[in-house]
């Protein structure tokens, strides 16, 4: 579906908050353009990303929810820690905690990258 078509569909709803998620949205080539155009149209836009792809080109008006994979997920190798350099005060970091080890790891990451 073209970006303009998606925006036309979104405008049919009485809602100004849009969250782009599902799988990994940044795998879609048009995702960055879609988020920019939605912001230009006055929508409040959120992006939920798995954190394995760069976020530095995400429009600064978009609130990013960045998922950092904990040890029990066996997916930690996918974490792109460079993304933490582009986190804004309005963004969120998400940890899915499954074990005590995950909890302790998340605390270490929060401290190491000053995510408070």
* pTM for this prediction: 0.91
Residue of 75, 86, 90, 81 lying closest to 110 (CA atoms): 81
Q: Which residues have C-beta within 8 Å of that of residue 86, sequence separation ≥ 6? A: 55, 56, 58, 64
Domains in the chain: boundaries: 3-112
Per-residue pLDDT of the chain (116 residues; tens, 9 = 90+): 899 999 999 999 999 999 999 889 999 989 999 999 999 999 999 999 999 999 999 999 999 999 999 999 999 999 999 999 999 999 999 999 999 999 999 999 999 999 98
Neighbours of 49 (CB within 10 A): 23
Tokens of 38: 């939605």
d(CA 40, CA 50): 25
Residue 56 CA to its chain's centroid (Å): 11
For residue 14, what pLDDT is reported? 92
């Amino acid at each position: 579906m073209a970006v303009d078509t998606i925006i036309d569909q979104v405008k049919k709803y009485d809602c100004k908050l849009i969250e782009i998620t599902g799988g990994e949205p940044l795998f879609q080539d048009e995702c960055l353009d879609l988020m920019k155009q939605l912001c230009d149209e006055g929508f409040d836009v959120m992006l939920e990303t798995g954190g394995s792809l760069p976020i530095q080109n995400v429009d600064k008006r978009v609130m990013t929810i960045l998922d950092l994979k904990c040890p029990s997920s066996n997916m930690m190798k996918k974490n792109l820690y460079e993304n933490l350099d582009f986190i804004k005060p309005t963004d969120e970091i998400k940890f899915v905690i499954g074990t005590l080890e995950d909890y302790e790891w998340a605390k270490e990451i929060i401290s190491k990258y000053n995510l408070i």
